[in-house]
Amino acid sequence: MPAVNKRALRPGERIRVLVVDDSVVIRRLVTHALEQDPVLEVVGAASNGAIALQRIPQLNPDVLTLDIEMPEMDGLETLRRLRGEYPQLRVIMFSTLTERGAAVTLEALTLGADDYVAKASNEGSLDRSMIRLREELVPKIKQFFYLPTSARESAAPRAGAIHVARTPVRREGRARAKVVAVGVSTGGPTALGAILPELPADFPLPVLVVQHMPPLFTRLLAERLDATCQLRVEEARNGMAVEPGKILIAPGDYHMKVAASGGAVRVCLDQSPPQNSCRPAVDALFASVGEVYGGAVIAAILTGMGQDGLRGAQILKAQGAGVLAQDEASSVVWGMPGAVVNAGVADRVLPLEEIVPQILSMTGRT
């Protein structure tokens, strides 16, 4: 699905949200959490997808929060209808941290949902649930907009900002790559599903991927990718060998790092503090890859909110690694790649479909 670029809010304009959930408690909780933010306005609520579709023309929302399991018309069917009738409308799914919830959420992301939030479970109090929901949901709604009261975050396009680096990526003296490291967040499952199957079966390097996702989700993502890719795709396990021709996905709630051990490179998982509010963090992977491989790395930063990966990309760049960034037009959110581009770290700024051809070129495959 093509990316829908960020929209700039006019001064005084608020982000209009329609809350769709069959639970009265959840609808009230979401409404109260969002209305505490002056930039957000809950314009209505609906108890199922059919009612939501009726209310969209009347309420003109910018964003829907969409439950998955609802009577009459569930979240997936609603999403299919939304993508056909309202392609510009942003949709954030409400998921449960269960096997079924994770699987259905990944399906929703494939169908064009923009992001998801896990429903609170056993929070212990309404206040705690409200705080957690506000901390997670509000930034995910705002990531799709340029706010008029801010300096238009660092990833926003600037006048004269570089969009394509014209110098060749392979320069004299650059070490031949030994590993590919990828960082991605919002829009990641769709982006990974589009590009990783393009890697040929005889691709000679290991591929390490950090996708911001919780436990369960990362395992199911790896399984989905393994079914479509020519290379083997697995959720990484502690001590697993980093081998050519294998794609490893960082498990949710663990930083994935690598270390040289007995002549081999192995995965090291840990639960050290989050970096950039993320665990797994792209910065953690990139820094450790730099320690093991030096400049013999191809790093790719794809669509995602925030700037996780910037510090790690700077470390790798200083060591001589090649750094690729997805362009704004093909990104769901140009936060992570935009931060790398605007810092002058990217060697190439490319549409999503050109990322793998560039990697193949840099590894001498074309």
Asked if residue 88 and residue 31 are part of one domain, the reply reads yes
CATH of the domain at 233: 3.40.50.180
Contact of 97 with 214, CB cutoff 8 Å? yes
Report how far residue 117's alpha carbon sits from residue 3's, in angstroms, rounded to the nearest whole number.
20
Report how far residue 56's alpha carbon sits from residue 67's, in angstroms, rounded to the nearest whole number.
16
Q: Taking the mean position of all CA atoms in its chain, how far away is CA 310?
A: 15
Query: Angle, nearest 10°, between helix axes 188-195 and 99-111?
Result: 70
Distances 328 to 79, 135, 298 between C-alpha atoms, Å: 24, 26, 20
Asked if residue 86 and residue 223 are part of one domain, the reply reads no
Residue 58 lies in a domain: yes
CATH of the domain at 30: 3.40.50.2300
- Domain boundary at 88, 122, 146, which? 146
Residue 285 lies in a domain: yes
Report how far residue 141's alpha carbon sits from residue 43's, in angstroms, rounded to the nearest whole number.
14
Asked if residue 185 and residue 127 are part of one domain, the reply reads no
- Domain boundary at 101, 121, 146, which? 146
Sequence letter at residue 20: V
Asked if residue 228 and residue 140 are part of one domain, the reply reads no
Asked if residue 196 and residue 339 are part of one domain, the reply reads yes
| Residue 91 domain boundaries | 7-146
Contact of 231 with 212, CB cutoff 8 Å? no
| Amino acid 122: pLDDT | 56
- Domain boundary at 146, 162, 196, which? 146
Mean pLDDT of successive 10-residue stretches along the chain, which has 366 residues: 72 95 91 93 96 97 94 93 94 88 93 87 68 89 83 40 39 77 96 97 97 95 98 98 96 97 93 96 98 97 96 97 97 95 97 97 84
| pLDDT tens digits along 217-271 | 999 999 999 999 999 999 999 999 999 999 999 999 999 999 998 889 999 999 9
Cβ–Cβ contacts within 10 Å for residue 31, how many?
A: 16
Residue 204 lies in a domain: yes
Domain count, the chain: 2
Residue 87 lies in a domain: yes
**Which sign does the torsion angle of CA 214, 217, 219, 224 carry?**
negative
Query: Whole-prediction pTM value?
Result: 0.88
Catalytic positions are: 185, 212, 308
Asked if residue 137 and residue 88 are part of one domain, the reply reads yes
Asked if residue 249 and residue 119 are part of one domain, the reply reads no
Asked if residue 265 and residue 125 are part of one domain, the reply reads no
Report how far residue 69's alpha carbon sits from residue 76's, in angstroms, rounded to the nearest whole number.
9
| Amino acid 285: pLDDT | 98
Query: Angle, nearest 10°, between helix axes 75-85 and 99-111?
Result: 10
Asked if residue 207 and residue 93 are part of one domain, the reply reads no
| pLDDT tens digits along 282-325 | 999 999 999 999 999 999 999 999 999 999 999 999 999 999 99
Distances 8 to 30, 43, 151 between C-alpha atoms, Å: 24, 19, 12
Bridge partners of 90?
Answer: 63
Q: Cα–Cα–Cα angle for 254, 260, 264, nearest 5°?
A: 105
Asked if residue 183 and residue 141 are part of one domain, the reply reads no
Residue listed under structure tokens 């794809």: 302
Residue 172 lies in a domain: no
